[in-house]
Amino acid sequence: MMSSVRTATKAAESQAYQLAIGKGMSRKRALAEANSAGQLEYQQQLQGLEQMAVSSGINGTPSIDDPQFIPEIVFDQTRGVNQPKARFAYLFPSSRSALSSAAGPWHTAAMTLSSSSIAVSRRPSSGDSARSSIGP
């Protein structure tokens, strides 16, 4: 995010400098105009980021260690308690599905199995394939 702020600031400075030179201002005056335009753009960008942070509902610096951070990002409280947002729903098993991961020496695959019961006979080790039985 801060890199986009820097990019926008540099672009504003460059445009202001070119405009000032085009109007016949001295190099010193053009640099001063560019600096002023850059400062204004920087402040506007930061204000936009602050408004975005406030509207997102995230307070403080996001951290993976913050126990509230993941629920704020992943779950949609308007859909019910602990209901994932639509874009993350495939990651979370429901009462009618489970997420099963299988890893082999050359690939990793994940699939969602829909069944009323799933029994895994053992946890696969490196190079083994997962064995499971799906019952009624």
Lowest mean pLDDT across 32-36, 51-55, 56-60, 121-125: 121-125
User: Domain for residue 42, yes or no?
Assistant: yes
The DSSP output letter for 84 is B
User: Domain for residue 84, yes or no?
Assistant: no
User: Domain for residue 51, yes or no?
Assistant: yes
Q: Which residue has the tokens 């029994």?
A: 119
User: Domain for residue 79, yes or no?
Assistant: no
pLDDT at 127: 53
pLDDT at 102: 58
Q: 5, 46 in Cβ contact below 8 A?
A: yes
The DSSP output letter for 90 is G
Q: What percent of the chain has pLDDT over 90?
A: 32
Report the predicted TM-score, pTM, of the whole model to 2 decimal places: 0.47
Same structural domain for residues 7 and 52?
yes
For residue 17, with 0-12 CB atoms within 10 Å meaning exposed, 13-18 middle and 19 or more buried, which class applies?
buried
pLDDT band at 48 (very low <50, low <70, confident <90, very high): very high
User: Domain for residue 36, yes or no?
Assistant: yes
pLDDT at 36: 96
| Owning domain of residue 130 | 93-136
The residue from 31, 56, 81 where one domain ends is 56
Which ranges constitute the DSSP H helices of 23-125? 27-56, 69-74
pLDDT band at 74 (very low <50, low <70, confident <90, very high): confident
pLDDT at 24: 96
User: Domain for residue 87, yes or no?
Assistant: no
Report how far residue 90's alpha carbon sits from residue 113's, in angstroms, rounded to the nearest whole number: 11
Q: Which two tokens stand for residue 70?
A: 């993941």
pLDDT band at 54 (very low <50, low <70, confident <90, very high): confident
pLDDT band at 30 (very low <50, low <70, confident <90, very high): very high
Q: 86: which residues sit within 8 A by CB, 6+ positions away? A: 76
Handedness of CA 55, 61, 62, 67 (dihedral sign): negative
Residue, of 27 and 59, whose pLDDT is higher? 27
pLDDT at 9: 95
pLDDT at 124: 53
**Domain count across the chain:** 2
